Amino acid sequence: MSHDGLDPRMLDVLQRATSLELFQLSAVIDRLLADPKRIVQIRRDLHLGQTVRFLDWSTGQMLTGTVTAMKDTQVTIQEPLAHRAWTLPYTAIEPPRPGAPKPAADPKPPEPPKPGRNDFRPGEKVAFEDKYLNTIIGTIVRINQRTATVHPGDGTSWRVGFSLLRHVFDV
């Protein structure tokens, strides 16, 4: 291998090629590198915070950095030693080992319990949204098995499930 990272035989063949042949080869290589299958293959085992090796095209050296952002066709890598960020195509990254461990996802906080029948009493002021997402405020006049009967004070009556109700506090 030469210092450029290429097999000397390949380098010799490329040096003898015409400019048009090199341009055609470049176009074919660009299409192959932009192939979504290649990108998906690399992204499948890549995650934020992962340490990866990547190619510095200006020097031909492999560097190490941490993945800080992932977009459709490019990845941003923070190089810790030089304190600089690189935005590169996924194909400039050495593919991670298949099945490399990914960090555990942050556990979602448990949802607050939905209000039930025992959380409401007749005479309490409550609010809910109707099917048009208008907020209706009224007073509970009756507690049923699965719903509360609410009178908003305009002559109408609503039967509303307990999970849709919330208490209203006068300030």
Dmax (CA) for the chain in angstroms is 92
Is residue 139 very low, low, confident or very high in pLDDT (cuts 50, 70, 90)? very high
**pTM given for the model:** 0.47
Boundary of a domain, candidates 92, 126, 156 = 92
pLDDT in tens, 41-63: 888 878 888 888 888 877 878 88
Closest CA to 55 of 77, 22, 83: 77
**Distance linking the first and last C-alpha atoms of the chain:** 79
CA dist., res. 5 & res. 14, Å (int): 14
Q: Which structural domain range is residue 160 located in?
A: 117-167
Residues 88 and 133 in one domain: no
Domain count, the chain: 2
Residue 58 belongs to a domain: yes
Give the bridge partners for 65, in sequence order.
Answer: 52
Residues 27 and 72 in one domain: yes
Question: Range with the lowest mean pLDDT among 83-92, 97-106, 141-150?
Answer: 97-106
Looking at this protein, which amino acid is placed at residue 169? F
Residues 12 and 88 in one domain: yes
Residue 79 belongs to a domain: yes
pLDDT in tens, 89-121: 888 888 766 665 655 555 677 877 888 899 999
Residues 125 and 69 in one domain: no
